[in-house]
Amino acid sequence: MFRGEESVTFDSELSGKELLSFLEECLEPLGEAFISEQGEVIINPRSLFGGNLCQSTITGRLRKRGEKYRISIEYDSTLSTVGWFLLILGILLYLLGLLVLLSPYSASKKIEKVLRRVLSEMNPGEPLFIESF
């Protein structure tokens, strides 16, 4: 639903496992991070980035190009089942609210029609000029 990607290129003199540990620690503010030796990044998002109404996924890739590394992180936040339910319920209630507004409008038009007929019948000899306010 709402997604994005961020990436950075950097140099490092750390060995493979040390680099992976360092990067996992750097990614901790996002949640529990794991980087495989193949460069796959998986982050279990903190509850701050989800909850009952939405769920988030954070994944990425670490690649080595020459002497440089590039880490790309993709994220996606979408509504949970509860979120979708509340969204649909809210839309239906909104539409119901609009329909409720039609009731007094319809009633006023009916009153106007009957009132014009009644007022015109008060003086059958001459047509009345009926003002609307």
pLDDT in tens, 24-61: 999 999 999 999 989 999 999 988 888 888 999 999 99
Burial class (CB in 10 A: 0-12, 13-18, 19+), 46: middle
Enclosing domain of residue 55? 2-79
In a domain, 34, yes or no: yes
pTM of the full structure: 0.70
**In this prediction, what percent of the chain has a pLDDT beyond 90?**
53
pLDDT in tens, 3-13: 999 999 998 88
Q: What's the number of domains the chain is made of?
A: 1
Q: Which residues contact 52 (CB under 8 A, 6 or more apart)?
A: 80, 82, 83
In a domain, 69, yes or no: yes
Is the pLDDT confidence value at 130 over 60?
Answer: no
Report d(CA 50, CA 68) in Å as an integer.
33
Q: Which of 5-19, 21-35, 98-112 has the lowest mean pLDDT?
A: 98-112
